[in-house]
């Protein structure tokens, strides 16, 4: 049955309106309809965390407060750019990223408002994990660690980040691309503590020691160590813990064939980065947003949040993660993490100069 244009247009308009309405229904749920005075409302959350475990925490908040959480998940840069573009009309209330540098960048662009200073919960987070002007705060800690294959390289032969630059490791090191934020923040931290020249020398030596052109993510580097492609790798600790506590036998044997080394334990301590949260400067639901931030900092939620990705709580809340606790408690660097943001562009330039892909 050939369709005439007129018939088709009618059908198309009908179909399109059905689609648009259903998109609206699926997208916005029904909370706009309720306008009762006691409606606790909602918050708009822009998040760069994609961990399934976080869902349970959000649900607990919704249950406890009645406040609905509406989410957009994307990488930190995209979220920041979206808020910047939306300007004062942005619906964003809170922003979660998985890197302190991103938070610093958002704060520099005046996208954050100061959080309430009198909050007791905020002060539970150590000062070096917070923005000096109180615009954002860390909510979970991750460490960048060394992983070795103990049968090929003794763990005590690579006790520091600096030791990875040893020419004896030529062709034996695996590390992911320098486009990745974890490497950028690590190098930015080095620039802050040791200066640009030392950081560049180190990065150049790392490139010389690489077993292969960077490919894949942190998990791929750990697997490569286990398979014998390289003897040592530089990764975030939770990827190793996830393999060790995986249900898959293959993953477990990767963890068994490798070992975590907490670097710089006789020096500054292991490099720490955070997932962090900031309050958007023009937050339309500010009171709800502040409640959400405080909720994330309560002890139980801190434990839960850390566990959802095998991280460490940002406060002194208990850990309660046997697989992680089995690795001992490392000495952590006390570096001000906002500096990662300040030196990130310099770090990227160094990576480009030394040819770290």
Looking only at residues 81 through 100 of this chain, which bind another protein when binding is defined by CB under 8 A?
A: 81-82, 84-91
Distance of alpha carbon 143 from its chain centroid, rounded? 11
Number of H helices, E strands in the chain: 14, 10
Choice from 10, 59, 71, 132 touching another protein (CB under 8 A): 71
Q: Mention every residue, 6+ apart, whose C-beta is less than 8 A from residue 241.
A: 310, 321, 323, 324, 327
Instruction: Report the site for another protein in 313-352 (rule: CB under 8 A).
Output: 344-345, 347-349, 351-352
Among 112, 239, 240, 262, binds another protein (CB under 8 A): 239
State the pairing for strand pair 94-97/42-47. Answer: parallel
Scanning the chain, the segments in alpha helix (DSSP H) are 5-28, 52-65, 76-86, 100-108, 181-194, 196-209, 218-227, 237-244, 249-256, 286-297, 299-307, 322-325, 338-342, 344-354
Contacts (Cβ under 8 Å, ≥6 apart) of 97: 48, 76, 79, 80, 103, 106, 275, 276
> What character string, x for contact with another protein (CB under 8 A) and - otherwise, covers 28-67?
xx--------------x-----xxx--x------------
- Residues with Cβ within 8 Å of 209's Cβ and at least 6 positions away in sequence, in order, are 164, 165, 166, 167, 169, 170, 171, 172, 173
Residue 12 or 198: which CB sits closer to another protein? 12
Indicate whether 275 belongs to the interface with another protein (CB under 8 A): no
Q: Does 202 bind another protein (CB under 8 A)?
A: no
Exposure class string for 327-344: b at 16+ Cβ within 10 A, else e: beebebbebbbbbbbbbb
For another protein, the closer CB: 34 or 213: 213
Among the listed residues 10, 12, 133, 329, the single contact to another protein using CB under 8 A: 12
Provide the minimum distance between the beta carbon of 49 and another protein in the complex, in angstroms, as a whole number: 9
Binding residues for another protein, total number by CB under 8 A: 77
- As measured in angstroms, the least distance from the Cβ of 19 to another protein is 4
**Identity of the residue, 81 or 196, whose beta carbon is nearer to another protein in the bound complex:** 81
State phi, psi for 121 to the nearest 5 degrees: -65, -40
Cα distance between residue 127 and residue 133, in whole Å: 11
- Least distance to another protein, CB of residue 282, Å: 8
Instruction: Give whichever of 86 and 166 is closer to another protein, judged by the CB atom.
Output: 86
* Candidate segments 110-118, 202-210, 221-229, 330-338, binder of another protein by CB under 8 A: 221-229
Contact status, residue 319 vs residue 312, Cβ threshold 8 Å:
yes
Write the CA distances from 127 to 138, 149, 314, integer angstroms.
10, 36, 11
> Minimum distance from CB of 27 to another protein (Å)?
5
Per rule CB under 8 A, is residue 14 in the interface with another protein? no
Residues 166-195 that bind another protein (CB under 8 A): 177-179, 181, 184
Please, what is the minimum distance in Å from the beta carbon of residue 147 to another protein?
A: 13
Q: Is 27 in the site for another protein (CB under 8 A)?
A: yes
Q: How far is the C-alpha of 17 from the C-alpha of 78, rounded, in Å? A: 30
Smaller CB separation from another protein, 26 or 36: 26
Among 196, 220, 294, 336, which residue interacts with another protein (rule: CB under 8 A)?
220
Among 254, 255, 289, 317, binds another protein (CB under 8 A): 254
Of 24-32, 199-207, 267-275, 287-295, the segment contacting another protein by CB under 8 A is 24-32
Between 32 and 156, CB nearer to another protein? 32
Number of Cβ within a 10 Å radius of residue 280: 25
């Amino acid at each position: 049955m050939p369709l005439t244009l007129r018939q088709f247009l009618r059908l198309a308009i009908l179909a399109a309106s059905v689609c648009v309405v259903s998109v609206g229904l699926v997208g916005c749920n029904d909370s706009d309809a309720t306008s009762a005075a006691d409606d606790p409302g909602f918050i708009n959350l822009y998040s760069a965390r994609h961990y399934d475990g976080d869902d349970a925490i959000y649900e607990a908040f919704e249950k406890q407060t009645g406040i609905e959480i509406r989410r957009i998940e994307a990488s930190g840069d995209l979220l920041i750019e979206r808020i910047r573009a939306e300007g004062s009309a942005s619906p964003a209330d809170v922003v979660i990223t998985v890197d302190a540098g991103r938070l610093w960048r958002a704060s520099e662009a005046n996208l954050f408002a100061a959080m309430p200073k009198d909050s007791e919960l905020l002060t539970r987070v150590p000062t070096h994990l917070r923005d000096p002007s109180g615009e954002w705060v860390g909510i979970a800690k991750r460490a960048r660690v060394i992983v070795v294959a103990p049968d090929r390289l003794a763990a005590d032969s690579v006790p520091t980040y600096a030791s990875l630059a040893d020419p004896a490791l030529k062709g034996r090191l695996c590390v992911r691309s320098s486009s990745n934020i974890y490497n950028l923040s690590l190098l930015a931290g080095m620039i802050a503590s040791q200066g640009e020249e030392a950081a560049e020398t180190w990065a150049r030596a790392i490139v010389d020691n690489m077993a292969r052109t960077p490919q894949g993510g942190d998990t791929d580097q750990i697997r490569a160590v286990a398979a014998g492609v390289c003897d040592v790798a530089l990764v975030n600790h939770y990827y190793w813990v996830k393999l060790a506590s995986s249900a898959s036998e293959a993953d477990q044997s990767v963890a068994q064939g490798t070992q975590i080394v907490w670097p710089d334990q006789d020096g500054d301590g292991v490099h720490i980065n955070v997932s962090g949260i900031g309050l958007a400067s023009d937050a339309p639901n500010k009171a709800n947003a502040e409640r959400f931030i405080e909720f994330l900092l309560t002890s139980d939620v801190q434990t839960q949040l850390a566990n959802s990705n095998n991280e460490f709580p940002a406060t002194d809340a208990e850990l309660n993660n046997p697989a992680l606790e089995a690795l001992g408690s490392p000495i952590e660097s006390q570096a001000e993490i906002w500096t990662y943001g300040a030196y990130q562009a310099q770090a990227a330039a160094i990576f480009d100069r030394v040819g770290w892909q």
